[in-house]
Homo-oligomer: A and B are copies of this chain.
Amino acid sequence: MQTKKIINDGDRAVDEMLEGILAAHSRHLWSVDGSPRSIIARDGPRPGKVGLVIGGGSGHEPTFLGFVGKGLADAAAIGNVFASPPPDPILECIKAVSGGAGVLLMYGNYAGDVMNFDMAAEMAAMDDVEVRTVLTTDDVASAPRDQRQKRRGVAGNFFIFKAAGAACDRMLSFDEVERIARKANNHTFTMGAALSPCSLPQTRRPNFEIGADEMEIGMGIHGEPGIARCALKSADAIADEMLDKILAEMAPSRGDKVAVLVNSLGSTPLMELYIVNRRVKQRLDDIGVSVHATWVGNYCTSLEMAGVSVTLEHLDGELQAMLDHPCDCAMFRAG
């Protein structure tokens, strides 16, 4: 039996989604002529500003293109569902946002994305655009601590892109933007847990098997297997398991500040997310860490997967300023 989806044609789903997005958000977004998978901010790219291009596979909405706008990313290159975009649409994004001060590519650390974005970067270099890359690696469940560079980029993208976008919008130098982007990545820690699978529009089949009373800790945002299967736990137990791992790495001191993101993997409703946030706040209060800001909702999803992820960004004055810097995107506003 096929999973239920409100679509017309699985192979056209991504392009039809993009049409619907441009229909809804033409005030914020436009797409490059002849390259409909290259989505550019109407306001944002400008001479002298470092350009910020993000991107990756579809199915994670509002990541990536929801975060394209003034004060955040200048463009997003969109791939098929759970598949990196090819080099061409990435290159088109780079050209569209290049303001002469260099273009920063930011995306999650996945083999496919790395190969495609690197090819695009090589092509851009031939057009004499200076391109640098900062990979996001916030998923603490995806590799041991001493191999941070191997980790996946997941919901923490939100904080990391936000910091880099703010740095660009403040017209900081390419070196400064890159430094802040790397710092934001190093200060951001995410862990997720999945309860039920999603299904690709083309296959309409659950992309993994899981027992009716099981959950999976550390599941990737493409349904990649995580680190452990276990019986479904209580919200507090799930939050504790995530926070134990995150806080052990972040090692905050009393009085430190963090930003919190409690993210739905897709179908988990706000009621459950806020119950998790309740516990997150309790735990942070217990160790004297103050919460500067909290976001709760669908920020980095896996289609209709059920589950939650918790992200903490360890703030210092600079990262806090970047977080508070205003942005105005199609699907997200702050400041």
Q: Which of A97-105, A167-175, A265-273 contacts B (4 or more CB under 8 A)?
A: A265-273
Instruction: For A274, give its contact among B4, B24, B201 (CB under 8 Å).
Output: B24
Return the contact of A271 from the options B17, B215, B267 (Cβ within 8 A).
B17
Find chain B residues with CB under 8 A from A255 CB: none
A120 to B61, CA, bound (A): 42
CB closest residue in chain B, given A23: B281
Name the prevailing secondary structure of the A interface residues. Answer: mixed
**In the docked arrangement, what's the CA distance between A48 and B195, Å?**
50
A232 within 8 A of partner (CB): yes
| A275 and B235 within 8 A (CB) | no
C-alpha spacing A8/B276, complex, angstroms:
9
Please tell me if the beta carbons of B301 and A270 are within 8 angstroms of each other in the complex: yes
- Interchain CA distance A298-B61 in the complex, whole Å: 13
Contact A306 B270 (CB under 8 A): no
CB interface residues, A 93-145, toward B, < 8 Å: none
Tell yes or no: A321 within 8 A of B by CB. no
Checking B6, B291, B298, B304 against A276 with a beta-carbon cut-off of 8 angstroms, the contacting residue is B6
A304: contacting residue among B61, B267, B297, CB under 8 A: B267
18 contacts between A and B (CB under 8 A): A4-B215, A4-B306, A6-B268, A8-B236, A13-B271, A14-B271, A20-B275, A20-B276, A21-B274, A23-B277, A23-B281, A24-B277, A24-B294, A25-B294, A61-B274, A62-B270, A267-B269, A267-B304
Residues of A within 8 A of B (CB): 1-2, 4-8, 13-14, 16-21, 23-25, 58-59, 61-62, 195-196, 201, 212-213, 215, 232, 234-236, 238, 260, 262, 266-281, 291, 294-298, 301, 303-304, 306, 308, 331, 333
List 6 other contacts, CB 8 Å, given A6-B276, A20-B274: A4-B195, A7-B235, A20-B296, A24-B260, A59-B269, A59-B271
